[in-house]
Structure 1
Amino acid sequence: MANKMRLQIITPMRSILDEEVESVILNTTEGEMGVLYDHEPVVALLGYNKLVYTQDGVKKEATTLGGFAEVTIDKVVILTDASELADEIDVERARKAKERAEKRLQGQDVNVDRARAEIALKKAIARINLSNMK
């Protein structure tokens, strides 16, 4: 039996997850990073993507929309701007958000906050991609 570690996913609005897991795969800004119990301590910057974790032999997924991961020997703490578990994603809402962001980025309006639109687009794409993997 593999040693387990605690996985916590925390956003400014709520705690998404606080469970014992066997493994975690993080999508950092530097690439994927696998984490097992007794991992070397590290802090990593997260991208707009997903994380995969194994709980009782079952793979599960959640979005990570920016933020940080702190890895210790027996814990992974995710502090992220927003996160959803796969079954919480409203796919239609994510598609509409993607369309709005793309429209803003394609337009010539100088009053559009391009950085904000780019982040909205990345978040929508991460949500859609995770929902398509269910």
Structure 2
Amino acid sequence: MAKKTKLKIITPNGIFLEKEIDIITIKTTEGYKGFQYGIQPIVASLVPSKFNIRIDLKQEELYILSGIIYAEKEFINIITDSISYEKTILEGNSYSKTNNFKTSIENIEKEIKLKKEIEKTRNN
């Protein structure tokens, strides 16, 4: 039996989802990536997309506008402002290219800051 990974999705309103999963496949700025138990530490920016969570043989679909994912061996954390089980979240995405660019830069800055914090904790 495969080991499970603890997934936690956090929004400004609190915890959106907290489950033990087999794998999550989600779109980062570098394309779709799968995250599962045993992954090397990684921080990545998320882009507007549909993503999948597999638990045993069942698959759940969710939709996200943007966010940050941090994964390390036994857990995956996603921090986002906009997530839903409804596809309409993507259809209502009225960001202009300027706002998308600004959001991308902000996400990259957050990603760099998170990576620096992770390195600090490892070096202590």
Deviation at 1:53, TM superposition (A): 0.9
**Structure with greater strand share of residues:** 2
Unaligned runs of 5+ in 1: 106-113, 120-134
Unaligned runs of 5+ in 2: 102-124
Deviation at 1:28, TM superposition (A): 0.2
Separation of aligned partners in 1, 2:47 and 2:54: 20
Separation of aligned partners in 2, 1:2 and 1:18: 19
Q: Give TM-score scaled by structure 2 length.
A: 0.70
Change (3 A) 1:56 1:14: same
- Point out 4+ residue stretches in structure 1 off by more than 4 angstroms: none
Deviation at 1:90, TM superposition (A): 7.4
Q: Structure 1 residue 45 and structure 2 residue 45: aligned?
A: yes
Separation of aligned partners in 2, 1:64 and 1:90: 9
Q: Give TM-score scaled by structure 1 length.
A: 0.65
Which residue of the partner structure matches residue 10 of structure 1? Answer: 10
Deviation at 1:94, TM superposition (A): 6.7
Identity among equivalent positions (%) equals: 28
Separation of aligned partners in 2, 1:53 and 1:80: 16
Secondary structure, in 3 states, of the residue corresponding to 2:83? coil
Task: Encode CA deviations 1:15-58: one digit per residue, 9 max, x unaligned.
Answer: 21100001111200110111121011100110011221101211
Q: What value does the CA root-mean-square deviation take over the aligned residues? A: 2.5
Q: Structure 1 residue 22 and structure 2 residue 22: aligned?
A: yes
